[in-house]
């Protein structure tokens, strides 16, 4: 069993898609084992996306991620990191496959509804960023 960090981003929470998005994970073999709704501070968002701090979209990304609440979750399942990325679809919804979350819910390349860890190593770092081990069931 593997674990990954998932975030339902502000654009999806604002449009009331939390339940539909979690259902997609459940239906496709991933189980939430930790979950919290929170409104990220600027510091929290900057720290989470620190790897992108030199990218031209960083400031916009932090502003987007802090504008309203998100849902942070740990998802567990076989090959959870890769499985989650498949269920999410490509970063840009224009390139996302049919039936993926981003194809069906994302507004554009930035407001793309979900985050998912991109490797098991980063998943461990990102899970620890939001959850104590005692909060993971």
What does DSSP assign to residue 110?
A: S
Is residue 52 within 8 A of residue 33, CB to CB? The reply is no
* 17 marked as part of a ligand binding site: no
Ordered alpha helix ranges (H), 1-137? 10-14, 18-27, 42-48, 58-65, 80-88, 101-105, 120-130
Query: 32 to 61, contacts with ligand RTP by CB under 6 A?
Result: 52, 57, 61
Give min distance, CB of 113 to ligand RTP, in A: 9
CA distances, 61 to each of 54, 70, 131 (Å): 12, 13, 22
Give min distance, CB of 134 to ligand RTP, in A: 26
Binding partner at 110 among ligand RTP, Mg ion, none, C-beta below 5 to 8 Å by kind: ligand RTP
Q: Tell me which stretch binds ligand RTP (CB under 6 A): 22-30, 66-74, 75-83, 105-113.
A: 105-113
Annotated catalytic residues are 115
User: Which residue ranges make up the annotated binding site for ATP?
Assistant: 9, 57, 85, 91, 102, 112
């Amino acid at each position: 069993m593997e674990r990954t960090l998932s975030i339902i981003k502000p654009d999806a929470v604002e449009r009331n898609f939390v339940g539909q998005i979690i259902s997609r994970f459940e239906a496709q073999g991933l189980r939430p084992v930790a979950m919290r709704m929170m409104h990220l501070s600027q510091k929290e968002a900057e720290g989470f996306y620190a790897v992108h701090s030199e990218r031209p979209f960083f400031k916009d990304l932090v502003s987007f991620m802090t504008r309203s609440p998100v849902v942070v979750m740990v998802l567990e399942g076989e090959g959870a990191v890769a499985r989650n990325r498949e269920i999410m679809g490509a970063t840009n919804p224009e390139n996302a496959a049919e039936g993926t979350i981003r194809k069906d819910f994302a507004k554009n390349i930035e407001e793309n509804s979900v985050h998912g860890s991109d490797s098991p190593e980063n998943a461990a770092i990102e899970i620890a960023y939001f959850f104590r081990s005692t909060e993971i069931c």
